[in-house]
Structure 1
Amino acid sequence: MKAFYEKVSHAGGHSFGYSSFSLPRFNAPFHYHPELELTLIEKSQGKRLVGGHVAHYEAGDLVLLGPNIPHCWLNAEVEPPEMDAAQAIVIHFRADFAGETFLTLPELMAIQQLFQKAQAGLLIKGKTRDIAAEKMRSGLHLQGFPRLLLLFDLLHGIALSSETERIDLFFSQQVLSPVETERFQRIYTFLIENFRENISLEQMAQIANLSPTAFCRYFKKITRKTFVDALTEFRIKHACQLLASSEKPVQEICFESGFGNVSYFNKEFKKALGQTPLQYRKYHLSLPLVASKP
């Protein structure tokens, strides 16, 4: 997986992209693009990466991303594999897709402010999410002007809601040069691909083209985490997915997630989540089954 600049294209006669996907797994790598992106996960669960933030996602996850935020959705393994294990509706649009001065209209001030908030990535929750999800589904059956109106209605509803949460405000406040942006993507792409392996500080420093000391300072400045903390976070998130979605023994999950021994795994897991891996699994097994759509 290589972080890259993605050129988002639209079908002829359209000013923004509106697509649905049904795949065995999401295949977009850690990437970025100048378009804003509104993504509704219809089916799937796993890890969502936005900027330097890692979080669990599941069906119903709805996120608005501002321009040039590196991101990807990593599926948890599904056993047995399913051809439609990953389903999503995705809308791509430029901030000025309706014209450079359009958002300066007083009636669109809320949407303009929404785009500013989305620079940090925005998680949409509660009733707002449910209403927005239904609108996004209905938009799949529209074309032309009705779909354009629906997009503005969708964005306006999110803009007026208090049921939103910024995902990585700190990352959005970093003013990174193109060189530093590329360096960060290179580092995080390597982490995404290799967190289950034995990664050394020297190895990461070489990838970043920095000395080990300079790399530690750089990583902490961008993410507010030490490299070891970030690596542990990736491993814990992966272990959580396996505990909740498989019957694999804890010892097997420990090593499959990149931890060297079970005692250390149990210690770090409890420090991060306040419960042991077995307690986490027992809790998730007790949850009622829910439909794949919110």
Structure 2
Amino acid sequence: MKQNLKYYPKARTHTFHFDHVHIKWNQQVPLHQQETWELSYIITGSGVRIIGDIVENFSKGEVILIPPNIPHCWSFDESVHDSKGNIENITIVFENVFLENCKNIFPELMNSISELQSNENAVSFKNELLERLQTLMTSMIDQNSIERLSSFIQLLELISYCKEMQIVGRPVSENKKEKKLQEIYLFILNNFQRNITLEEISRSVGMQKSSFCVFFKKMTGKSFFTYLTEFRIESSCQMLLKTKLSVAEICIASGFSDIPYYNRVFKKIKNIPPTQFRKNAEHTRTSEIQ
């Protein structure tokens, strides 16, 4: 799979790159990797992401740390946006050489930065730490360069010793099979909302249908269409939670063409129909507010 590489400018007047954007849902960078660290905060938007070897749903509020050379991309849902139709996020990109320089210049940061560098996996943060990161990253929007540098040092300290986090992506090995599987995941991510035939997906990754089926089952433990159906159901769950679209609209938007079939499959996988799933979520949110 050919991956697009995103290179942020190495501005000599700044030690890291701070990017705060309001853009349309489909203007995100496609699958890419870089030799830098990346800290991303999703302020508005939700959808599906690929980070290394993991494909899963994401929603607003997440703060994700991605170490160097892990391929990743976010695919935003076009129905989740602000009043102007935009998604919003903050991305902070910094180089490993900057971390090394910090250790040499500031002995106080030696242990925390070494701890950070020892992490090879992409992680998301939780609970009180997540709220502190959100607040600190948001405050950086209106800060000058000196204030941002101070905030960035605080960010490094916070994420270095974090224990309240979960792995959301791992490095992709040089194994050809793993790379082929990631290529399949990317195809699903970009095409799950429409009909996908076995002929099309196998051809897109340069395999015969029979070989593709055997390969996918061996790598994932599931048939391709079982995986695709579960992926579509999970995506529809995000739309039920994050949008006001009707169940019929969500059915179509998540790749199903028949509403009764969608309802049956949803209930089989989630043990409740989609309407009840949405009501339960709304009841939970109301209870939390009260």
Match of 2:253 in 1: 256
Residue 98 of structure 2: SS of its match in structure 1? coil
Q: 1:135 to 1:283 in 2, by over 3 A?
A: same
| Residue 21 (structure 2) pairs with residue 21 (structure 1) | yes
Q: Matches of 2:268 and 2:95 in 1, distance apart?
A: 41
Displacement over 6 Å in runs of 4+: 179-182
- What's the CA shift for 1:20? 0.7
SS where residue 202 of structure 1 aligns?
A: helix
Q: 1:116 to 1:289 in 2, by over 3 A?
A: farther
- Give the match's secondary structure for 1:266: helix
1:215 is aligned with what amino acid? F
Change in CA separation of 1:192 and 1:148 when aligned onto 2, cut-off 3 Å: same
Is the deviation greater in 277-286 or in 119-128? Answer: 277-286
User: Aligned residues: percent identity?
Assistant: 29
Q: Are 1:3 and 1:185, in contact at CA under 8 Å, matched by a contact in 2?
A: no
What is the deviation of 1:57? 2.8
The offset of 1:127, in angstroms, is 0.6
Letter in 2 for 1:97: F
Query: Given the two structures, how large is their TM-score scaled by the length of structure 1?
Result: 0.79
Unaligned regions of 5+ residues in structure 2, if any? none
Alignment of 1:46-125 (within 5 A): 46-78=47-79, 82-83=83-84, 85-99=86-100, 102=103, 107-117=109-119, 119-125=120-126
Structure 1 stretches lacking a partner, 5+ long: none
1:151 matches 2:152: yes
* Count of residue pairs brought into register by the alignment: 284
Q: Does 1:274 align with 2:276?
A: no
Which residue of the partner structure matches residue 197 of structure 2? 200
C-alpha deviations, 1:245-284, integer Å up to 9, x for none? 1242x34432332225344423432343332211112123
TM-score (norm 2): 0.80
Q: Does residue 246 in structure 1 map to residue 239 in structure 2?
A: no
1:232 positional shift: 2.0
Q: 1:41 and 1:200, CA in 2 relative to 1: closer, same or farther beyond 3 A?
A: same
Is residue 70–residue 185 contact of structure 1 (8 Å, CA) maintained in 2?
no
The one of 225, 232, 253 equivalent to 1:228 is: 225
C-alpha separation between the residues in 1 aligned to 2:39 and 2:148?
Answer: 15
Give the superposition deviation at 1:162.
Answer: 1.8
Q: Deviations over 1:97-137 (max 9, x none)?
A: 3447948x7953443333443x3310111110111122212
Q: Which residue in the other structure is 2:5 paired with?
A: 5
State the shift of 1:75 in Å.
Answer: 2.6
CA 1:30/1:126 → structure 2, altered by over 3 Å: closer, same or farther? same
Q: Which amino acid aligns with 2:22?
A: S
Aligned residue type for 1:112: S
- 1:220 positional shift: 5.5
Over the residues paired in the alignment, what is the CA RMSD in angstroms?
3.4
Q: CA deviation at 1:236?
A: 1.4
Whether the 8 Å CA contact 2:50–2:186 is kept in 1: the answer is: no
